[in-house]
Structure 1
């Protein structure tokens, strides 16, 4: 019970920091001294993400440092605790490929008229985030820092906490559900259930948070770059039949590539380390089967 309460408390702390700093940043609209800064962020929503998520990450780093001072055996480094481990060159290329497949799948959902009309929140999100003073603000915030922060929070912290008190595959589903809950619309939540499972699975099997970060950064970065450079208009000229086929193939490539990673990651992933830790903690008689 103590471990469960600790996990609940840690997750509540991470989310509490998120909401507290979100409120603090939004309150800049209320003061004359910070009004110009607030207007800049209002004009550039991607830069709002940069400021908010950078501040939250710094506070998370401080929390881990304080925990390390209070409990000597606790992990003191946020990034080490989140699983920032180096990937091989082949894995990096594979993650970039998965990100490109995810990008084209998402663009298909945006440019296919029937889908865009039924689920307008998908193109609306891209339209909202791409507005601003510079495309590089958009890439920095919505393409790089925003997705990286999502992975730190949902996979590196929440998923890691949940794995401490429940079967790893239950934790995998719950972190995907939590990820979906925080999306701005029902349609995006449904998509995020699937992407959350994929990101969590990649993290679980490779043991590195860089895996889902690379996929997300590639997907989100190219979504906004392609929008900015007019690729959507060219893509739309292919016609709905071709777009449906390409979108379906990209989804199949994303799922198939994720399954390939799952099957070929060997014993170095998080799931293997969890099993080893449980075995190491078991009494000698249990390890021997008696």
Structure 2
């Protein structure tokens, strides 16, 4: 029971830091001295994400350092605890390929007229995020920092905590549900259940958080870059029938690639000392598990 309360407390702490800094950053609109900065963030929502998530990560680093000094058995390094372990070159390229498949799948959902009309929140999110002073801000905030922070929070921290007190497959589902809950619309939440399961399984089987980060960075970065360079308009010329086929094939490739990683990486995770069941302890002194 003590371990359960510890897990609940840690997760509450991580989410509490998130909401506290979100409130503080939004409060910059209320003060004259920070008003110009607030207006900059208002014009560039991707930079709002970049600043917020960077600040939260810094606080998480401090929390781990403090906990490590109070309890010597605790890991003092956020990144080691989250599972930032080296990926092989072949695995890294595979993750980039999965990210491209995920990107084209998402773009298909945006440019296919019937889907876009049924689920307008998907193209609206891209349109809102890409506005700003520079595409560089968008790629930095929404393509790189934002996805990396999501992986640290949901896979590196929350999934890690859940695995301490429950079977790994239940933890895998719950972290995906938590990831989906924080999405800005119901349609994106449904999609995020699946993507959260994929990211979690990649993290679990490769033993490295870099795996889902590479998938997310590739997918999100190209979604916004392709929007900026006019790829969506060119892609839309294929017509809905062809787009349905391409989008479906990209989804199959994304799922198939994830299954391939699952089937071929169990030995890697085991050799790196990663726990694949809740009965085996998670060795936080050597880093955690796995876009």
Task: Tell me: CA distance 1:142–1:13, structure 2 relative to 1, closer, same or farther (3 Å).
Answer: same
- 1:32 maps to 32
Displacement of 1:274 after TM fit?
Answer: 1.7
Q: Report the secondary structure of 1:3's partner residue.
A: helix
Q: Report the secondary structure of 1:227's partner residue.
A: helix
Asked if the contact 2:167/2:277 (under 8 Å) is kept, the reply is no
Displacement of 1:266 after TM fit?
Answer: 3.1
- 1:11 maps to 11
- 1:244 matched to 2:244? The reply is yes
Displacement of 1:231 after TM fit?
Answer: 0.2
The separation in 1 between residues aligned to 2:6 and 2:250, in whole angstroms, is 41
Q: In the TM superposition, what whole-angstrom CA distance separates every residue of 1:56-112 from its partner, at most 9, and x where no partner exists?
A: 000000000000000011000000000000000000000000000000000000000
Asked if the contact 2:25/2:52 (under 8 Å) is kept, the reply is yes
Asked if the contact 2:163/2:278 (under 8 Å) is kept, the reply is no
Instruction: Flag the structure with more relative contact order, 1 or 2, with Cα contacts below 8 A and sequence separation at least 6.
Output: 2
The separation in 2 between residues aligned to 1:213 and 1:82, in whole angstroms, is 12
- 1:288 maps to none
Displacement of 1:267 after TM fit?
Answer: 2.1
**Aligned residue pairs, count:** 281
Q: In the TM superposition, what whole-angstrom CA distance separates every residue of 1:177-211 from its partner, at most 9, and x where no partner exists?
A: 00000000000000000000000000000000000
Give the TM-score taking structure 2 as reference length. Answer: 0.94
Calculate the aligned-residue CA RMSD, in Å: 1.5
Displacement of 1:273 after TM fit?
Answer: 2.4
Displacement of 1:269 after TM fit?
Answer: 2.0
Unaligned runs of 5+ in 1: 282-290
Q: Report the secondary structure of 2:268's partner residue.
A: coil
- 1:273 matched to 2:285? The reply is no
Q: Report the secondary structure of 1:274's partner residue.
A: coil
Give the TM-score taking structure 1 as reference length. Answer: 0.95
Equivalent runs, 1:1-290 vs 2, <5 Å: 1-269=1-269, 273-275=274-276, 278=279
Displacement of 1:243 after TM fit?
Answer: 0.1
Asked if the contact 2:164/2:281 (under 8 Å) is kept, the reply is no
- 2:285 maps to none
The separation in 2 between residues aligned to 1:278 and 1:213, in whole angstroms, is 27
Max radius of gyration: which structure? 1
The separation in 2 between residues aligned to 1:244 and 1:269, in whole angstroms, is 36
Displacement of 1:278 after TM fit?
Answer: 3.8
